[in-house]
Amino acid sequence: MNEYDSELVRSLLKREGFVFTEDRERADVILMNTCAIRENAHNKVYSHLADLKAIKKQRPLVVGVLGCMAQNLKEELTEHQPLVDVLAGPDAYRQLPMLLTSAIQSQEQGLDRKGLAVDLSEYETYDDVVPERNDGVNAWVAVMRGCDNFCSFCVVPYTRGRERSRDPDGIIREAQQIAAQGFKQVTLLGQNVNSYRHGSWDFARLLTAVADVSGIERVRFTSPHPKDFPTALLEAVAGHPHVCKHIHLPMQSGSDRILGLMNRSYTNREYRALVNRIRSLRSDIVLTTDIISGFCSETDAEFAETYRLTEEIRFHNAFIFKYSERKHTIAARKFPDDIAEPVKAERVTKLVDLQRRISHEHNRSYIGTTVAVLVEGSSKRSDSQSTGKTDGNITVVWDNSLIQSQPGDFVPVPILDASASTLFAHRRPQGQEILF
Ligand code: SAM
Ligand code: SF4
């Protein structure tokens, strides 16, 4: 969502004549747009700010912090970070050209006027702004913004405000433009993407309509909440040839008491039942998840329930996070962050080890088969190798000498080897393992 928001910001600034450079030495303005979900994102911004201090001592420079971080840390950033000139929250990007122009003029006059726009809106969806997209095979499209779920650990409802959905006509028009520009894949975005609702349109209808757009070969969506999976949505995923057979289904915990404290609105049993419904419709749907470990008051026995449920469901992959207390959230106000750091770390390690074993087993089951891959480009490790994703979002790597391909092509790739994170069209030397 932050990448997508940066594309919106680029578009809004370009319209007003701002020009972009990747070289920060040449920049008059440096903007940081980042997430505030966990402590490490927060720390990264502070370390970048420390770097910029040296540049700002030597020459005029306007520094701006955008998005969730600006929203969440407005007092802290304005009072304790004299370096920051402009703050613009996720609903205030339209004001950014004016804020930056005024900050540049203020510096020219030797003044230190701050620009601050952090009001949240109940209506802003940037429906009329065409994002200035990065090249590639995938185009992000936000279909809704904000979140009304108030999971107790999560800062999103405070940084991004109330849920609001875009008009489906605008979304479908955008998907048609994306197809005309040559993108092969669309990823529909929203904090709680499957609670999308606009008049009589729900998310299943929208997903199907986007997948029907000619030229769009793959449609993905993220992040859904387990509470919003009506049969029509599951059938759209299982049945539509252009909807990817992958569902990211954040579980968070396997303990009912912890799920209750998290305000997740489902139980371990309901979550498991949803997984069974998905798998009974189509056994090849790839399931991935998010898990938080070390949430307030989580006991060893409750952690063991999460471990057992992860082991039982056998997700294809999982993002496993240490609980990180976030300012303003219900958990920060009501529950002490009382699990010691080494205990949190040990629990995360146990889950990561379990998941790595399961991911490796899943991936090994592809050896000897041929998978259909949407080519993304050169692999990170070598220009003589290419990479792409299966329909289930599994990364595949092959030697260019074996298969010649261009980004955007669909190629069949025979799988000869697998790590926990990647399928390979060649056998790797013994002992070479890529971790995820
Ligand atoms: N909307 C999605 C859902 O309902 O699950 C999740 C979106 S959230 C941006 C991505 C993931 O970050 C969450 O699923 C959760 O596992 C993790 N997360 C959010 N807040 C966190 C916190 N305070 N500490 C650790 N992990 C957190
Ligand atoms: Fe945060 Fe997702 Fe819960 Fe919304 S549904 S509060 S984004 S974790």
Ligand 1 atom nearest to CA at 329? 23
More confident call, 82 vs 384:
384
Query: Is residue 190 over pLDDT 50?
Result: yes
Whether the CB-CB separation of 182 and 119 falls below 8 Å is answered with: no
Question: How does residue 434 score in pLDDT terms, banded at 50, 70 and 90?
Answer: very low
Query: Is residue 436 over pLDDT 50?
Result: no
Whether the CB-CB separation of 115 and 34 falls below 8 Å is answered with: no
Query: Is residue 433 over pLDDT 60?
Result: no
Whether the CB-CB separation of 322 and 348 falls below 8 Å is answered with: yes
Mutational pocket test of ligand 1: of 144, 251, 321, 341, the residue with most ligand atoms within 8 Å of the beta carbon: 321
Ligand 1 neighbour 153 (Cβ under 6 A):
yes
Ligand 2 atom nearest to CA at 223? 2
Return the bridge partners of 389, or none: 374, 395
Ligand 1 neighbour 221 (Cβ under 6 A):
no
Instruction: Please tell me the distance from the alpha carbon of residue 195 to that of residue 144, in angstroms, as a whole number.
Output: 9
The ligand that comes nearest to the alpha carbon of residue 288 is 1
b/e map 359-393, b = 16+ CB within 10 Å:
bbebbeebeeeebebbbbbebeeeeebbbbbbbbb
Ligand 2 neighbour 147 (Cβ under 6 A):
yes
Query: Is residue 110 over pLDDT 50?
Result: yes
Query: Is residue 163 over pLDDT 60?
Result: yes
Query: Pick from 153, 175, 149, 180: which is nearest to 163 by CA?
Result: 149
Q: What is the pLDDT of residue 432?
A: 53
Return the bridge partners of 399, or none: 385
Instruction: Please tell me the distance from the alpha carbon of residue 344 to that of residue 353, in angstroms, as a whole number.
Output: 14
Ligand 1 mean position, distance from CA 54 (Å): 34
Question: How does residue 435 score in pLDDT terms, banded at 50, 70 and 90?
Answer: very low
Token reading at 97? 């050209």
140: Cβ contacts below 8 Å, ≥ 6 apart? 3, 4, 7, 131, 133, 186, 187, 189
Question: How does residue 74 score in pLDDT terms, banded at 50, 70 and 90?
Answer: confident
Q: Which tens digits make up the pLDDT trace of 26-70?
A: 999 999 998 888 777 778 888 888 889 888 889 999 999 999 888
Average pLDDT over residues 305-331: 97
Whether the CB-CB separation of 155 and 326 falls below 8 Å is answered with: yes
The one-character DSSP state at 200 is T
Ligand 2 atom nearest to CA at 225? 5
Average pLDDT over residues 113-119: 89
Query: Is residue 164 over pLDDT 90?
Result: yes
Token reading at 182? 């040559």
Residue-by-residue DSSP string for 34-82: ---SSHHHHHHHHHHHHHHHHHHHHS--EEEEEHHHHHHTHHHHHHH-T
User: Taking each helix axis from N to C terminus, what angle separates 268-281 and 231-239, rounded to the nearest 10 degrees?
Assistant: 40
Q: Which tens digits make up the pLDDT trace of 219-237?
A: 999 999 999 999 999 999 9
Mutational pocket test of ligand 2: of 2, 145, 191, the residue with most ligand atoms within 8 Å of the beta carbon: 191
- Alpha helix segments (H runs only) across 251-299: 256-262, 268-281
Query: Pick from 281, 250, 254, 290: which is nearest to 269 by CA?
Result: 254
Handedness of CA 306, 287, 34, 158 (dihedral sign): negative
Q: What is the pLDDT of residue 46?
A: 85
Mutational pocket test of ligand 2: of 192, 264, 271, the residue with most ligand atoms within 8 Å of the beta carbon: 192
